[in-house]
Structure 1
Amino acid sequence: MTATMPKHGDCRPLLAGEDDLTVVFQPIVDLASATVAGYEAQARFPGTAAPDVWYAAAAEAGLGAELEALALRKALAALPDLPPHTFLTVTVRPHLLGSVPVAAAFAEPATLRGVVVALTEHLPTPDLDALRTQTAALRSRGALIAVRDAGSGLAGLQQLAEVRPQLVTLDRALVAGAGTDPVKAALVELVGTFTSRIDAWLLADGIETAAELAVSARLGVPLAQGWLLGRPTPSFAELAPEVAALVRSHVARAHLADGVTSLLRPVRRRESDEDDAVPAPCVLLDPAGVPVELVLADPRTGAPYRAPVSLTVHPSADVPETLQRALTRPPVHRFDPVVCTDRSGAVLGLLRVEDLASAAASR
């Protein structure tokens, strides 16, 4: 660092030159499609000090807005190279959003379409009215607004209420351990419910382990970012094939967990109508192995009775949807068990309507 006085808009007391600040891009993954949905621009500085150290030094030197603006200009300069159907996230501290250098950096591109402006701050924003005006101006030029570190404290909640973001990033502290901590998982679900109510996307940041990816998929988080999915690179990198396969496998497992598999009860099979040695409950199969009739036991007398197979579902079927289909059957068969089969039609087990109702009520 030098001791020279800065000219308007430069950071020479901190950086030898503007080229000392570089920008890298980390992919943000759409879990449902296992594709890159966007990229976050991240500033890098000389030496081993973390970016937060540089931003803190800039703020102490009275150059916080200048350094933020330099990072923004470098990130926004990459917009022409942004892959189709993806977005670019840039991070800004809310108290600097209305500063002259930051406003000038946002004014340079002809449009802000495809840009997500992420607000990050752990302290309450001093002027919420100004923040609303500033974010509205960015929206008018095509930008989307995001709030980072949701769930980290009062400041994030204030921003959520005031700016009505289109994207909300979960605090890393919530993502880590959500798979084994029911309180964290409940908070993730709570933020997810809020984002869906305001028609926003939820992003899980800092995904570093397969367990964190699995819980994000299980909790229905649509977007994820972290070293497990892709490290920051100088260009807009595609998702590695092995990462895409990993995402697809965890999303598929999450769908199965949300399905009826856990509610299956074993059932015997009868391949002949004359085979009375197989007691109820059992499923009667036709010559092609298709389930056609149920042999059930009357709960009051234990006497066997027969009912046609009136509903079959795949193990990945949604619990509430299966319950609704079961209850819309003709009244005489409304509470008969549902037969679960695999894709080949083989019987896997029975689903009791009582179990479906209990599971649906707990979700």
Structure 2
Amino acid sequence: MIGTRTARLPDCRPLLADADDLTLVFQPIVDLANASIAGYEALARFPGAAGPDVWFAAAADAGIAPELEALAIHKALAVVDRLPRNTFLTVNVSPHLLGADVVQQALASRQDLRRVVVELTEHTPVDDLHALRRQTEALRARGALIALDDTGSGYSGLQQMAFVRPQLVKLDRALVADVDSDPVRVALAEMVGEFAGKIDAWLLAEGIETPAELAAFSRLGVPLAQGWLFGRPSPDFLPLAPEVETLVRTQVARARLTDSVASLLRPVRQCVVGEHDAPGVPPAVLVGPQGEPTALLLSDPRTLEVYTAPVSLRVHPSTDIGDALQRALVRPPAQRFDPVLCTDPTGHVLGLVRIEDLATAARAAR
């Protein structure tokens, strides 16, 4: 596929004459609240000293960028079944190449995309945002989550964020570096995090390299993090080193000056849509074929009438109680007092949080 056309790098070597020249390494993505690995990002590596950006740029110059990207996607999807339990794999895709036939064929090499996060990695303007949304919706229907990389780096990225509505938002490294000493970066990170919350997306701080940066994002309540502090890219799916796990637990514990919604969780039944004629007694969470929450089954306390409501707010268990209450109360009036759904980074339902419990806990914390 690639070897039939041989672009050359600056040192005159052929560009990927053999498909095995492209290998993968995996960098951990950490759930800060649990000090555990939530997933891994698959990263392409090539022979020699030239970095991946050089290789992909050379492929673009030669007109074979879709083929090279498709090869990386195909190799990444081939290892999904090797993932450790309860983790996901992030697979990078350039949004302007997502519709290319060879990229679509690579994505079709695995029909079940549960545990796969398709990460849109460029923020150059996309000519047809409607087409991009159709393409990402088709991937979601097969179980994939959609992530947006380098959010906050420019207008085009924010435009894609508003249009595609990703489930995972990766904060641009420029807003992560030295955040512990720069209040402007903190304010910008908070702004992106608030925007992510309004579209029901997780925020991931990418490129954390120091304990001070970790402490800053722990105080902000960011649920997911990635960077050299937690682990370098490796050919294997490595666990967190014990000393790193201890560091994360310590920093998160220090940051918890107020209680999180984890202390208010109430268990809830899950009903697969279409699996039974009657979903049963509320409250319950209705889930789709891939386990994704689609609606809440509730009852009116005045009339006891059973009805379904949209999932209007999802939070991570580490979310601050006051923040969760504030976000709940700015929902549309029809959903303002509905329970808040709590899920983990993979989308698994953990439970419900009642508005009255949030209000009581917030008042007690004053």
Instruction: Name the Cα RMSD after superposition.
Output: 2.3
**Which residue of structure 1 lines up, in the alignment, with residue 237 of structure 2?**
236
User: What amino acid does structure 2 have at the position aligned with 1:229?
Assistant: F
Is the CA contact 1:179–1:212 (under 8 Å) kept in the aligned structure 2?
yes
Q: Does residue 1:101 correspond to 2:123, yes or no? A: no
Query: What is the DSSP-based 3-state SS (H/G/I as helix, E as strand, rest coil) of the residue aligned with 2:81?
Result: helix
Q: Write out aligned runs for 1:341-360 (5 A).
A: none
Q: In the superposition, relative to structure 1, how do residues 79 and 4 fare at CA in structure 2: closer, same or farther (>3 Å)?
A: closer
Cα separation, 1, equivalents of 2:188 and 2:129? 25
How far does residue 35 in structure 1 lie from its aligned partner after superposition?
0.2
What is the TM-score with the length of structure 1 in the denominator? 0.68
Q: Distance in 2 between matches of 1:160 and 1:199?
A: 11
Instruction: Give the whole-Å Cα distance in 2 for the aligned partners of 1:53 and 1:206.
Output: 20
Match of 2:42 in 1: 41
SS in structure 1 of the partner of residue 181 of structure 2: coil
Match of 1:146 in 2: 147
**CA shift for structure 1 position 187:** 0.8
* Secondary structure in 1 matching 2:231: coil
What corresponds to 1:249 in structure 2?
250
| Partner residue in 1 for 2:31 | 30
TM-score, normalization by structure 2: 0.68
| Preserved CA contact (<8 Å) 2:25 2:45 | yes
Contact 1:29 1:225 in 2 (8 A): yes
1-structure distance, mates of 2:173, 2:38: 20
Local SS of the residue matching 1:179? helix
Shift of 1:95: 0.4
The offset of 1:255, in angstroms, is: 1.1
Partner of 1:88: 89
Gaps of at least 5 residues in structure 2 are 7-12, 260-319, 324-361
CA separation in 2, counterparts of 1:177 and 1:202? Answer: 18
Q: Distance in 2 between matches of 1:77 and 1:320?
A: 43
Determine the C-alpha separation between the residues in 1 that align with 2:322 and 2:121: 38
State the SS of the aligned residue for 2:248.
Answer: helix
Divergent runs of 4+, >2 A: 2-6, 318-321
State how far apart, in whole Å, the 2-side matches of 1:36 and 1:135 are. Answer: 25
| Residue in 1 that maps onto 2:56 | 55
Secondary structure of the structure 1 residue equivalent to 2:180: coil
1:71 aligns with 2:69: no
Tell me what 1:9 maps to.
Answer: none
Displacement of 1:110? 2.8
Shift of 1:116: 0.3
Counterpart code for 2:227? G
- Matched to 2:220, the amino acid is L
- Partner of 1:89, secondary structure, is strand
Aligned-residue sequence identity (percent) comes to: 65
- Runs of at least 5 residues in structure 1 that lack an aligned partner in the other structure: 7-11, 260-317, 322-355
Return the offset for 1:4.
5.6
* Contact 1:4–1:13 (8 Å) recurs in 2: no
Contact 2:40 2:87 (8 Å CA) reproduced: yes
Q: How many residues align?
A: 260
Considering only CA atoms, is the larger Rg found in Structure 1 or Structure 2?
1
Cα deviation for residue 29 of structure 1 reads 0.2
Alpha carbons 2:90, 2:117 under 8 Å: kept: yes
Q: CA deviation at 1:178?
A: 1.4
CA contact under 8 A between 2:140 and 2:146: conserved in structure 1? yes
Opposite residue 244 of structure 1, the aligned amino acid is E
For residue 350 of structure 1, what is the aligned residue in structure 2?
Answer: none
Give CA-to-partner distance per residue, 1:122-162, whole Å, 9 cap, x none: 31111101101110111111101010101000111011011
